[in-house]
Chains A and B, each alone.
Chain A
Amino acid sequence: MKLSKKWLADFTNITADDKEYADRLTITGSKVEGTADLGADVKNVVLGKMISVERHPDADSLWVCTVDIGAADPTVIVTGADNLKAGDVCPVALHKSKLPCGKEIKKGKIRGVESNGMLCSLDELCLDLHDYPHAAEDGILVFTADEIKGFQLGDDIRPVFGMDDKVVEFEITSNRPDCLSVIGLARESAASFDVPMTVKESVVQGSGGDILDYLDAEIWDEDLCRRFTARVVKNVKIAPSPVWMRQRLRAAGVRPINNIVDITNYVMLEYGQPMHAFDHACLQGGQIIVRRSGSGEIIRTLDGVDRELDDALVIADEEKAVGIAGVMGGARSEITDSTTTVVFESANFNGVSIRKTAARLGMRTDASGRFEKGLDPMSTLPAVQRACELVELLGAGEVVDGIVDVIASDRLPVSLPLEADKINALLGTKISRDNMAAILEKVGFTVDNSNLVTVPSWRLDVHQWADLAEEVARFYGYNVIPATMMRGAAVQGGFNPRQKLERQVGVLLRNLGYNEILTYTFTGQVAYDKVRLSADAPERNSLTILNPLGEDTSRMRTIAMPAMLETLARNASYRNESARLYELGRVYLPNAESETLCDERLHLTLGAYGNGADFFALKGAVEALLEDLRITGVIWTAKSDDPIYHPGRCAELAVDDQVLGRLGQVHPLTCKNFGLEGEVFAAELDLEELFAAMGPERTYVPLPRFPAVTRDIAVVCDEHVTAQELQAVIAGAGVKKLVESRLFDVYTGTPIPAGKKSMAFALQYRAEDRTLTDEDADGATAKILTALETKLGAVIR
């Protein structure tokens, strides 16, 4: 909402400077976004009168003007415009002047004649024909006598243009549509500065006749229209509105059109009540009906577009709609230059209905925006009266006697007790009851002797004591309320065990060199395609957003891998040579049993490429995580059928048959789909399962008292035998003294026969009660070798 300070001064006298005004209004709840000085960009431009206008001696297209600028001597200015004659009064930009368009003017010689400035056109003043409808489009702006009344030649041009005004831009919250008006803001301003405000009741002379000879109105759909008020103006003379009105509209950001339309906009800005003017001649049958549109009813709106209506509220005559209520008027009844009789109507429509219609038609207007927030049903009559007063003031027509004012339902004023103690208890203050009453009265509430507060009709947002508390607080001062620390029962804060675990996982991964990422949790079938999920893959069954931003963000992800690969690809394309990334993010697994349609589970994804990234580096990171989480007994199974991964380099990890996740090298075709080159490694683990698989807290194990004995063995076995199988046999060979067997070498090639490989293990033995002898170690090793040979055909090399 843009508020002209000059307009504000019609209602209340604020002497504070711009900054003080902005700060005060902001802290009482009308947030000021900025204050614009309309004349800030204009300097040294004055009012001047042409004494003579003569052809330039050396140029057929130029004129030499002698201009009276109120100084002792006239000045000479050369112009190219052809619309000037002696006696014309224009804006004159003098030597070293600045214009709103950004131009700076200096004197100079034009074809040998000294020119001491410039005569200005609308363009150079950043104005247009809406502001000065009589101006020559390609010429110098020549003022009418009306426009310069009260000004002297040589006067600063800014007041002439109304640029001696400041416009304050407010951000008004949706609960306060009453503040989307000059009067509403005047009320807030006056209350903020503790000064009075006055709104004069409009006086309409009238010109006889009877409105009922012109029209009557009825409301068919009373749920959608509480009140409908109208007056008629005859013998209308359509003309531009006077300069002061044009300037105020311009200051408020509204483009002037003609006197009748300008009046409706002026009243809306002043009272916050939208109104509409339409041509009475277009009304069939003299009866206005406020009703729901039929389905498929079509109306051509003011912007010339045919609109199909569906359950919209319309203003209609006996035959068809003349306007979409609260949104836009119809083209048929538009005010034109030939209009002679005008109906001014102002109504109170149901905000929800207006909002739905405006949204469905995609035409949110200033009026619809106000209606949808809810308006005061008491303001239709004052608005219509004000419009008629302005009609008479502007001489725009003759107001017919009588008012059509249909009230479908009354809104009773809200009354509630002033509970000072309760309010103080909520605010933490000690404001007296009388002080509270005084504050409330400043903004239009009344408080009677029995302590009953009556809420003004325009405050549709006030229903209960907490609302009164806010009114009291904002004028008492939010910043005057003390700041205290909560008392009461001590509360134990902190992370719960589960939240601690999540943080533990993050810390470990960062220590392993992985960087945390955050990705979008919505995805699309395309992402599932890119990780090459089959058409019937269960992961594709994901929650669907019915109104997504796009297909690629229309599903809640069931796997986080596509987002990880996307991120790796983006980093590769930014030429980040290597990457190690992790994400702790949710996935959403559809579950009809769930209260919220799905189970939200936390997944851990890892991704890496470049600089030493390989399968075992990734596996090592996962193993470190398993150890950190005290997860033991993990079984690794090779998976060759996961489309995300390389068929020979993919592992699934499980504990007690519960799968924890998978990891591996990303399949070259999957990589290709993401534009990833080279080897890429990734893992996706279900953090919920990892947490569930955690072993008990560790306790201290006494340090060994006797040294260990080690033996290295190398066995040759079939190349398909896995390390996990060999380890299992070693561990199961019945050697109690074995405390560790560590694979330290895998070798194929000469002299190992084709189809075979050599696997070397470091075996460590220890007894708790003595130092083992060589014989002990050799015996144990022999036992292990026998087991390896009999169970797996692995023979010592």
Chain B
Amino acid sequence: MKEQLTALKHEALAAIAGAEDLQSLEALRVRFLGKKGELTAILKQMGGLSAEERPVIGQMANALSEKLTGAIAARREALEAVALDAQLVREKLDITIPGTREAVGKQHVMRKTLDEALDIFIGLGFSIAEGPEVELAVNVFDKLNTPDAHPSRDWSDTFYFDRDSEYVLRTQTSPVQVRVMENQKPPIRVVSPGRVYRKDEVDATHSPMFHQIEGLVVDKGITMADLKGTLNALVEQLYGVGTATRFRPHHFPFTEPSCEVDCQCFKCRGKGCPMCKGEGWIELLGAGMVHPNVLRNCGIDPEVYTGFAFGIGLDRMTMMRYNISDLRLIFENDLRFLRQF
């Protein structure tokens, strides 16, 4: 029987080593180690052995069984590794085929610009105030130091709801400032974004409805230098650190001193290009120190408090930022446009 076992060992090990796939390996396991397998068949003959031989043969048989089991396991592992390799090769993808996409919508480019600006202002400690678009003329004009006869009040410039010109579509978001000042004690630090209306026909640079964001700061000891610092911070965050600004005297009824602020052209960095019409500067916003009359009109003592205010045309800012040539695109909502941003 020893010979039989030895012969079986050699045959089985050779067969296992030669197994080409998992199926034939499993067949070999059944053939040699199964209940009706060859090893079992040999062991069935053990009954005819002497008491001395039996443990010896038994031991041999167990050793053989273990050996074969180990060999099969090793072979299986090897074959599985080969099979997995083959599978992975088969499963190779052309990873340049475009992905399957979930449609994701886009934020309107103007709102995107607005949110960018708001982020910056929030970082500077501003909160966001909103107000009605249908407004009292007294908030839009009178309290903002705009004289009775000022051209901006003309029916050719401003939309009115009543013959007495008391209710208007706000022409600027500044009435929100009035509402804030009347309802909140300094320190005040707010920005007010929103829609404003002026009686302009639609063309590439005009629209009867457009968007502004205005800022207002009122506190003790607020200076024009603070205005400059704040606006410089805005410009640097919008257009990159080191972007220069230029402050030019200007005129608004509600600020004194007033200024317009240009930023160095972000296309040509001041050299002059078509974007800045060769000037090297791009007009960005209007600003100034809140006029003492305005503070007084809103119940704030100009002898105690000072403040600054600024206003930015959001549509124009959007157009500059994204190189959009025609304002009408902003309100046309053509998906081919909307999806670009």
Interface residues of A (CB under 8 A from B): 26-29, 31, 173-176, 351-352, 355, 359, 372, 425-429, 461, 464-467, 469-470, 473-474, 478-479, 481-496, 499, 503, 506, 509-522, 543-549, 553, 556, 567, 570-571, 574, 576, 579-582, 586, 588, 595-598, 600
- Is B259 an interface residue when CB atoms closer than 8 A count as contact? yes
Supposing A29-B248, A469-B257 touch, asked if A491 and B187 sit within 8 A by C-beta, the answer is: yes
B225 touches A427 (CB 8 A): yes
A516 touches B149 (CB 8 A): no
Residue of B nearest to A600 (CB): B132
Residue of A nearest to B281 (CB): A26
B135 touches A426 (CB 8 A): no
Q: Which of B208, B336, B339 contacts A553 (CB 8 A)?
A: B208
A581 touches B333 (CB 8 A): yes
In Å, the complex CA distance between A595 and B131 comes to: 12
Complex interface: stretch among B15-23, B47-55, B154-162: B154-162
A470 touches B258 (CB 8 A): yes
Residue of B nearest to A553 (CB): B208
Interface residues of B (CB under 8 A from A): 102-108, 110-111, 115, 118, 121-128, 130, 132-136, 148-149, 151, 154-156, 159-163, 167, 169, 187, 189, 195, 199, 201, 208-209, 217, 219-226, 228-230, 232-233, 246-251, 256-260, 289, 291-292, 306, 330-336, 338-339
B332 touches A481 (CB 8 A): no
Q: Which of A429, A493, A509, A544 contacts B105 (CB 8 A)?
A: A509
A428 touches B224 (CB 8 A): yes
A598 touches B134 (CB 8 A): yes
Residue in B106, B248, B256 with the greatest tally of chain A CB atoms within 10 Å: B256
What A residues does B118 contact at CB under 8 A?
A: 495
What is the distance, in angstroms, from B101's C-beta to the closest C-beta of chain A? 10
In Å, the complex CA distance between A473 and B330 comes to: 38
Residue of A nearest to B160 (CB): A546
What A residues does B105 contact at CB under 8 A?
A: 509-516, 580, 582
What is the distance, in angstroms, from B241's C-beta to the closest C-beta of chain A? 14
What is the distance, in angstroms, from A103's C-beta to the closest C-beta of chain B? 26
B249 touches A29 (CB 8 A): yes
A-B contact pairs, 7 of them (CB 8 A): A482-B225, A491-B127, A499-B130, A510-B104, A546-B163, A595-B136, A596-B134
What B residues does A461 contact at CB under 8 A?
A: 251
In Å, the complex CA distance between A483 and B330 comes to: 34
B256 touches A600 (CB 8 A): no
What is the distance, in angstroms, from A326's C-beta to the closest C-beta of chain B? 14
What is the distance, in angstroms, from B6's C-beta to the closest C-beta of chain A? 55
A586 touches B189 (CB 8 A): no
In Å, the complex CA distance between A482 and B331 comes to: 40
In Å, the complex CA distance between A494 and B118 comes to: 9
What is the distance, in angstroms, from A581's C-beta to the closest C-beta of chain B? 7
What B residues does A567 contact at CB under 8 A?
A: 333
Q: Would you call the interface of chain B mostly helix, strand, loop, or mixed?
A: mixed
In Å, the complex CA distance between A201 and B169 comes to: 50
A351 touches B125 (CB 8 A): no
Q: Which of B122, B221, B338 contacts A494 (CB 8 A)?
A: B122
A511 touches B104 (CB 8 A): yes
Residue of A nearest to B201 (CB): A549
What is the distance, in angstroms, from B178's C-beta to the closest C-beta of chain A? 13
In Å, the complex CA distance between A722 and B43 comes to: 74
B108 touches A488 (CB 8 A): no
What A residues does B108 contact at CB under 8 A?
A: 515-518
What B residues does A574 contact at CB under 8 A?
A: 334-336
A466 touches B257 (CB 8 A): yes
What B residues does A355 contact at CB under 8 A?
A: 149, 151
Residue in B111, B248, B292 with the greatest tally of chain A CB atoms within 10 Å: B248
B110 touches A518 (CB 8 A): yes
What B residues does A427 contact at CB under 8 A?
A: 223-225, 257
A426 touches B333 (CB 8 A): no
Other than the known A31-B260, A428-B226, A597-B167, what 17 A-B pairs have Cβ atoms closer than 8 Å?
A174-B151, A176-B251, A426-B223, A428-B225, A469-B289, A478-B249, A481-B247, A486-B226, A491-B126, A495-B127, A515-B106, A516-B338, A518-B330, A556-B134, A579-B335, A588-B133, A596-B135
Residue in B187, B225, B332, B339 with the greatest tally of chain A CB atoms within 10 Å: B225
In Å, the complex CA distance between A574 and B189 comes to: 44
Supposing A352-B149, A494-B122 touch, asked if A426 and B209 sit within 8 A by C-beta, the answer is: no
Supposing A426-B306, A492-B125 touch, asked if A483 and B151 sit within 8 A by C-beta, the answer is: no
In Å, the complex CA distance between A515 and B332 comes to: 13
A473 touches B249 (CB 8 A): yes
What A residues does B122 contact at CB under 8 A?
A: 493-495
A491 touches B136 (CB 8 A): no
In Å, the complex CA distance between A351 and B149 comes to: 9
A483 touches B232 (CB 8 A): yes
In Å, the complex CA distance between A510 and B223 comes to: 42
B133 touches A547 (CB 8 A): no
In Å, the complex CA distance between A33 and B318 comes to: 23
What B residues does A29 contact at CB under 8 A?
A: 248-250
Residue of A nearest to B306 (CB): A426
In Å, the complex CA distance between A176 and B250 comes to: 10
Q: Which of A28, A482, A493, A576 contacts B125 (CB 8 A)?
A: A493
In Å, the complex CA distance between A157 and B124 comes to: 60
In Å, the complex CA distance between A348 and B250 comes to: 26
Supposing A352-B149, A488-B219 touch, asked if A515 and B339 sit within 8 A by C-beta, the answer is: yes
B249 touches A470 (CB 8 A): yes
A175 touches B251 (CB 8 A): yes
In Å, the complex CA distance between A479 and B227 comes to: 12
What B residues does A595 contact at CB under 8 A?
A: 136
Q: Which of B248, B250, B289, B335 contacts A576 (CB 8 A)?
A: B335
Q: Which of A490, A506, A586 contacts B133 (CB 8 A)?
A: A586
B233 touches A485 (CB 8 A): yes
Residue of B nearest to A427 (CB): B224
What A residues does B208 contact at CB under 8 A?
A: 520, 522, 549, 553
In Å, the complex CA distance between A31 and B251 comes to: 11
Supposing A513-B102, A553-B208, A597-B161 touch, asked if A359 and B154 sit within 8 A by C-beta, the answer is: yes
A571 touches B335 (CB 8 A): yes
In Å, the complex CA distance between A595 and B122 comes to: 30
B256 touches A428 (CB 8 A): no
What A residues does B259 contact at CB under 8 A?
A: 478
Supposing A27-B248, A470-B249, A493-B122 touch, asked if A596 and B136 sit within 8 A by C-beta, the answer is: yes
What is the distance, in angstroms, from B335's C-beta to the closest C-beta of chain A? 5
A510 touches B217 (CB 8 A): no
What A residues does B187 contact at CB under 8 A?
A: 488-489, 491
Supposing A515-B339, A547-B159 touch, asked if A506 and B107 sit within 8 A by C-beta, the answer is: yes
What B residues does A426 contact at CB under 8 A?
A: 223-224, 289, 306
B159 touches A545 (CB 8 A): yes
What B residues does A473 contact at CB under 8 A?
A: 224, 249, 257
In Å, the complex CA distance between A239 and B189 comes to: 65
What A residues does B226 contact at CB under 8 A?
A: 428, 484-486
A425 touches B223 (CB 8 A): yes
What B residues does A469 contact at CB under 8 A?
A: 256-257, 289
In Å, the complex CA distance between A511 and B111 comes to: 16
What A residues does B151 contact at CB under 8 A?
A: 174, 355, 372
In Å, the complex CA distance between A490 and B149 comes to: 40
A484 touches B223 (CB 8 A): yes
In Å, the complex CA distance between A546 and B159 comes to: 7
What A residues does B156 contact at CB under 8 A?
A: 359, 547
A571 touches B225 (CB 8 A): no
What B residues does A482 contact at CB under 8 A?
A: 225, 228-229
In Å, the complex CA distance between A458 and B277 comes to: 34
Residue of B nearest to A544 (CB): B161
What B residues does A510 contact at CB under 8 A?
A: 104-107
What A residues does B247 contact at CB under 8 A?
A: 27, 478-479, 481
Residue of A nearest to B277 (CB): A34
What is the distance, in angstroms, from B316's C-beta to the closest C-beta of chain A? 15
B155 touches A547 (CB 8 A): yes
Residue of B nearest to A474 (CB): B249
What A residues does B223 contact at CB under 8 A?
A: 425-428, 484
